[in-house]
Amino acid sequence: MSKNLPTSMTDLIDQVKEKFSGDPKIQTMFESCFKNTYETTIRPQWDGSTFVITGDIPAMWLRDSTAQVRPYLLLAEHDKHMADLIQGVIQKQVNYINHDPYANAFNETANGNCYNEDKTDMTPWIWERKYEIDSLCYPIQLAYLFWKSTGRTSHFNADFIKAVHQVIHTWQIEQYHFRKSSYQFIRENCPPQDTLANEGKGLPVNNTGMTWSGFRPSDDACQYGYLVPANMFAVVVLSQVATISDEVFHDANLKKRAIHLADQINQGIQTFGKVEHPLYGIIYAYETDGRGNYNLMDDANVPSLLSMPYLGYCDVMDPIYQNTRRFITSVNNPYYYEGKIANGIGSPHTPKGYVWPIALAMQGMTAKEGIEKDQILDLLKETDANTNFMHEGFHVDNPERFTRPWFSWANSMFSEFVLSRLGYFVKGSPLAK
């Protein structure tokens, strides 16, 4: 084991190994995956902030960076070094949101690097400017869980307050996307999922109370502008903002503003985001436009419909969630694949027939029964292509065929799933209840 790892990390790895003493494969995979983010993606900065690359791409995603360090909150409870690193991630995320709340990925410096020369309002700091609701949810979630894990409130500073107001303002604008928003995104000479239709504004939507999103957490364009699981995530983090406002800031106005917007978005979800399915009863749609069109599917990337209890939108036993879960873990979900080796949820972001370990880990963490959890853990153990790491996606008939050999988010999600099987949960996370 690397001498450079914090003692808190090696101790937890040893604890997990001891509890999986009869399973050397899980022992090796957990160690490899759990330390991967720390050893390969974290870059402390001169100002105390922390830059986190996503893995094989040298940029920092607001979404991925949160998910990458989330399991380390268990270490931050007692380890000042880890707590400082995670607080640095929050600091960096807040700075990026205040720079541009519409961007999803950023550079380490203002070096002008970018994925593509897109037609949108770019700056030298921005790697990509695909507007995604979840990019603004994740940093708030991390700040809230960091507070619950460590008791620290020093990250709730003026920059954080400014970012929260930016987030709320942006979501309020995007409730009326075509009337109030200046955001547009055009990428030329690319697959359709990498750009927005209708001159970069997306397809028409009616006002619903929900807030519009250009892109999914896969970075693929939304088919319809109201991405239901992302709006669910927004409801959850707005509730967290209300709690922070009440208990830390003692700011009744910010609390009221957050609750009001959460109520509007949630009313939109409940009014426009549900459909009656002939086989499964009432289920949540993945996307809608408020004009009577629905996209019935789920995607491996989180927030997903599968992840509702993990995010804290509903309980695992919620009947509509269970209906939705039965739908999205069936072949009626166009991105649920069944093969000789594996069954699971994939994504239009990767080729047909590729299941994502992120979705498998999420399925395991949100399963009602221990039998299903253990079956999924066994499946993950058998589909790493003997690399001891997770991948973005692997083929259901042949795990040797996989995408992205280095994908830190997937490694962290696997680690979190393993820890959850042993009763280790991040303080404040919904599944810890």
- The Cβ-side half-sphere exposure at 285, using a 13 Å CA radius, reads 24
DSSP for 298-322, please give it.
--SSSS-STTHHHHTSS-TT-HHHH
pLDDT at 26 exceeding the cut of 80: yes
The verdict on residue 86 lying in a domain is no
For 365, the domain range is 132-432
Residue 56, pLDDT score: 87
Which helix (H) or strand (E) element contains residue 126?
A: strand 126-128
Distance CA 418, CA 323 (A): 26
The verdict on residue 75 lying in a domain is no
Residues in the chain: 433
| Nearest alpha carbon to residue 328 among 404, 192, 228, 417 | 228
End-to-end CA distance of the chain: 33
Block residue for tokens 């303002």: 169
Torsion of CA 354, 296, 207, 308, to 10 degrees: -70
* 75: helix, strand or coil: helix
Average pLDDT over residues 171-179: 98
Which helix (H) or strand (E) element contains residue 43?
A: strand 42-44
- Whole-number average pLDDT of the chain: 97
Question: Measuring CA to CA, how many Å separate 149 from each of 10, 86, 361, 418?
Answer: 19, 11, 22, 19
Give 191's contacts (C-beta < 8 A, 6+ positions apart).
none
Amino acid at 176: Y
The predicted-structure confidence for 220-272, as pLDDT tens digits, reads as follows 999 999 999 999 999 999 999 999 999 999 999 999 999 999 999 999 999 99
Between these two residues, 135 and 432, which has the higher pLDDT value?
Answer: 135
Residue 63, pLDDT score: 98
Residue 286, pLDDT score: 98
Question: Measuring CA to CA, how many Å separate 212 from each of 35, 52, 76, 424?
Answer: 36, 27, 35, 35
The verdict on residue 82 lying in a domain is no
Average pLDDT over residues 275-299: 98
Q: How confident is the model at residue 432 (pLDDT cuts 50, 70, 90)?
A: confident
pLDDT at 55 exceeding the cut of 90: no
The predicted-structure confidence for 352-407, as pLDDT tens digits, reads as follows 999 999 999 999 999 999 999 999 999 999 999 999 999 999 999 999 999 999 89
| Nearest alpha carbon to residue 167 among 139, 201, 208 | 139
| Nearest alpha carbon to residue 214 among 271, 274, 134 | 134
CB 377 within 8 A of CB 30: no
Distance CA 168, CA 238 (A): 8
The verdict on residue 55 lying in a domain is no
CB 26 within 8 A of CB 17: no
Residue 210, pLDDT score: 99
Residue 33, pLDDT score: 97
The predicted-structure confidence for 176-210, as pLDDT tens digits, reads as follows 999 999 999 999 999 999 999 999 999 999 999 99
Residue 351, pLDDT score: 96
The verdict on residue 211 lying in a domain is yes
The verdict on residue 61 lying in a domain is no
The CATH code of the domain that includes 341 is 1.50.10.10
Q: How confident is the model at residue 2 (pLDDT cuts 50, 70, 90)?
A: very low
Tally of structural domains, the chain: 1
Average pLDDT over residues 117-123: 98
The verdict on residue 117 lying in a domain is no
pLDDT at 415 exceeding the cut of 70: yes
Beta-bridged to residue 308, according to DSSP, are none
The verdict on residue 22 lying in a domain is no
